[in-house]
Structure 1
Amino acid sequence: MKKDQLLAKWLNNDLSEDELAEFKASPDFEKYQKIKNYTDHLEVGDLDENTMLSNVLKQKKATPKVVPLYKTWMFRAVAVFVLALGVMFVLKFFIPETQTANFGEKTSFSLPDNSEVVLNSGSEINYKKWNWDNHRHLELKGEAYFRVAKGRKFEVQTSLGKVTVLGTQFDVKARKNRFDVVCYEGRVKVNYANTQILLTHGQSVSFENGKQANINVTSLKPEWIDDQICFYKEDIRSILDEVERQYNISIELNSKDTTSLFTGKLPAKDLNVALQIISTTYHLKANKVSKNKIIFDGK
C-alpha cells in the first residue's frame, strides 16, 4: 500500500494490525506521531448531511445532492493532513534546533548559512532556522569552535558573556565561572559583564570570577580538535571536570591541595597518561575502582 494511503488510514484509526505494524516500521513514523500529537487537540467540525440537504432543497431550480460517506471521511483526512503539514512547517522552522555532544564525544555540523561548528564534549547549542541569514544568533553551553561564513552579524550567547563576529574562526568556552574566547582569524568582539574587548588573530581572553587574563595564541585551531586538552592557569577541579567530559568517566578527589593552578596539556585519547600527569603534578595517587570511576588520593 502506498505511503499516503497508509497515512490517511492511520490518521483515521482505520489500519489493520498488519498495516499498523508496517506503518510503525517506516522511518518517518516518529515524525508522523509527533505531528499527530499536536493535531489531536484540533477539531474538525462534523458534516451535518441533513442540514446541507435541507438548504439545497430550499434553493430554486436546484438539484438535491447527497454527499457519500466515503467523501466525508476523505474531507476529514485531508483537513487533518493539511493541519499536519502546517504543524510540520512550524516544527521545522520556528522550534529551536538543538545540537549536542555527549561526554566522550565531539559533534560537527553546519548552520543554515554553511558556517561550520564543532562541539566539544559535554556541550550544547540552540538556534532557530527561521530568518537565520538576517539573525545569526545561537546559544552555547560548554565549548565550541566556529568557522563563520561571511554575512551579517553572528552572535554566540553564553551564560557568562557574548561573542560577536562578522566572518572568522574562533573558539568559545563557558564552563561554570570560566569564560574563554580565542580568535584564530579575523576579529571577535567579546562582552563580559561591563567589559568589552576586541580580539584579533592570535589573541585570547579569559575571565574567571571577574578576573581577566589575556593570552597570546600560537596554534591555528583549538587543541581539543586534535585530542589535546589545553589548560591555562586552571585549578585541579576544573581539570578533572574536563577529563570527566572527554573520557565519560567519574572522578573523586580526596586531597586538601585544590588551589594550585595548572598550565599545560593532557591527552584526550589516552586516559592512563592523563592520570599520570595529574598524579605527578599534584602529588596524588590514582586508583581505578571500576571501568568508569577514578579516585585520586593524596600521597
Structure 2
Amino acid sequence: MKEENELARWLAGEMSEEELQQFRQTPEFATYEKIAAYSATLKAPEFDHKKMYRDVISRPKKVTKVIPMTTWIFRVAAILVIALGLFFGARNFTTSDQLALNGKTTAFTLPDNSEVVLNSGSEIEYKKWNWSNNRQLELNGEAFFKVAKGKTFDVNTALGKVTVVGTQFTVKNRNDRFEVECFEGKVCVSSKDGKLFRMLEKGQIVVFENGKSITATATNGDKPLWMQDGIRIISLPLNDIISEIERDYAIKIDNKLLLSSQKFTGVLPKNDLETAIKILGESYGFTYAFDKKDKIVLTQK
C-alpha cells in the first residue's frame, strides 16, 4: 500500500525533492519510469459526436422481454421437482443390498414392513420399485424372516426357492446345503433341480444337500438358535463346521488336521469360542492353540 501511494504522488508531481531522491533509489523506479514514458506517447482517438448520434438513431430497436417474477419462480420449482423425481426414481429402481459381516448380524425392514435378520457372512438383494407387485429377494447365506400379515414374497437362493404368506421362517444357503425351518404359518419349499417340493408348517424343517434330504429335528422355539447365542450344526463335516465358526466369531482357524469325513450334529455356543473349540476337539480328537487374538491353530493329538 505504501508503494502504491508513493507511485501516485510521483505521477502527480507531489513529491518533495528529498522524497523524490529516495523514490528514485528504489528497485522498482526504473520500471515505473519506463511505464510513465510509454504512457505519455499514447493518444486517445478523437470522439466523433455526430457519427455516434447517427449510429444510435439508425440502430434497430430491441424489444426487451420482461419475465414476471412469479413465472420465474414456477420454472425453478418445476426444475427442482423434476430433479427430485429423477433422484428418488433412480434410487427406487436400483437394487438394495443388505450385508452382515462375519461376527455380526444385520436387521432391517422391507417395504411392506416385513422384518429380516441376516446371520453372519450373509447378504440379501432386492428392489424397492414395484415391491407390492413383485416381492422377490436374492439370499446368499442365512436369514430369519418375519413376514407381515397378509403379505407374500419369494426368497430365491442358488439352491432353491421359498414362497411364503404371513409367516416366520429361516432359510440357509451355504455351499451345497439348503435348509428351511418354519416357526409360524406355512412355507412352500422347492429346489432348483426339481427334486424337492414340500409344504412346511410350524415346527417343521427340511435340509437338502447334493440332491438328497437329510433327517433333522426342528428347533423347539419361535426363533433360530443363532439368534439365541447358539450355532446349530446338522450333519456337517469338520471343515464346514470350521467355516461356520469363522463366520460367527470373525476369526481364522488354521486346520493342520487330515480331512475327516466324520459328521457332527449338535449345538455349539455362539458367545464362547473356547468352549465351542473344546467340544469339537473332543469329538474329532485334536488340540488347539490361540496363535493370535483372531487366529486358532488345530493339530492332531
TM-score past 0.5 threshold: yes
Give the match for residue 199 of structure 2: 198
Residues 1:243 and 2:245 aligned together: yes
- Partner deviation per Cα, 1:44-83 (whole Å, 9 max, x = no partner): xxxxxxxxxxxxx99xxx943278xxx99x9998787555
What's the C-alpha RMSD, in Å, of the aligned pairs? Answer: 2.6
Whether contact under 8 Å (1:134, 1:152) holds in the other structure is: no
How many pairs were matched up? 237
- Partner deviation per Cα, 1:203-225 (whole Å, 9 max, x = no partner): 11111111112433142220000
Call closer, same or farther: CA 1:290–1:135 in 2, change over 3 Å.
Answer: same
Call closer, same or farther: CA 1:77–1:293 in 2, change over 3 Å.
Answer: farther
Call closer, same or farther: CA 1:80–1:278 in 2, change over 3 Å.
Answer: farther
Residues 1:164 and 2:166 aligned together: no
Give the match for residue 208 of structure 1: 209
Query: What letter corresponds to residue 126 of structure 2 in structure 1?
Result: Y
Call closer, same or farther: CA 1:229–1:149 in 2, change over 3 Å.
Answer: same
Secondary structure, counterpart of 2:150 in structure 1: coil
Call closer, same or farther: CA 1:101–1:66 in 2, change over 3 Å.
Answer: same
Secondary structure, counterpart of 2:183 in structure 1: strand
- Compare 119-128 and 286-295 and name the one that shifted more: 286-295
Give the match for residue 130 of structure 1: 129
- Compare 224-233 and 91-100 and name the one that shifted more: 91-100
Secondary structure, counterpart of 2:132 in structure 1: helix
Give the match for residue 93 of structure 2: 94
Query: What letter corresponds to residue 92 of structure 1 in structure 2?
Result: R
**Within 2, Cα distance between the matches of 1:83 and 1:75?**
12
Stretches of structure 1 that go unaligned for 5 or more consecutive residues are 1-56
Aligned-pair CA distance for 1:235: 0.8
Runs of 4+ in 1 over 4 A off after TM superposition: 74-83
- Partner deviation per Cα, 1:220-257 (whole Å, 9 max, x = no partner): 22000011000111111111101001110111211124
Give the match for residue 10 of structure 1: none
**Within 1, Cα distance between the matches of 2:216 and 2:231?**
16
**Within 2, Cα distance between the matches of 1:290 and 1:75?**
65
Give the match for residue 105 of structure 1: 104
Whether contact under 8 Å (2:112, 2:151) holds in the other structure is: no
- Compare 91-100 and 164-173 and name the one that shifted more: 91-100
Secondary structure, counterpart of 1:212 in structure 2: strand
How is 1:203-282 mapped onto 2 (pairs within 5 angstroms)? 203-220=204-221, 221-282=223-284
Whether contact under 8 Å (2:219, 2:225) holds in the other structure is: no
Aligned-pair CA distance for 1:260: 0.5
Stretches of structure 2 that go unaligned for 5 or more consecutive residues are 1-59
Query: What letter corresponds to residue 65 of structure 1 in structure 2?
Result: K
Give the match for residue 16 of structure 1: none
How is 1:14-163 mapped onto 2 (pairs within 5 angstroms)? 63-65=63-65, 81=80, 84-163=83-162
Secondary structure, counterpart of 2:142 in structure 1: strand
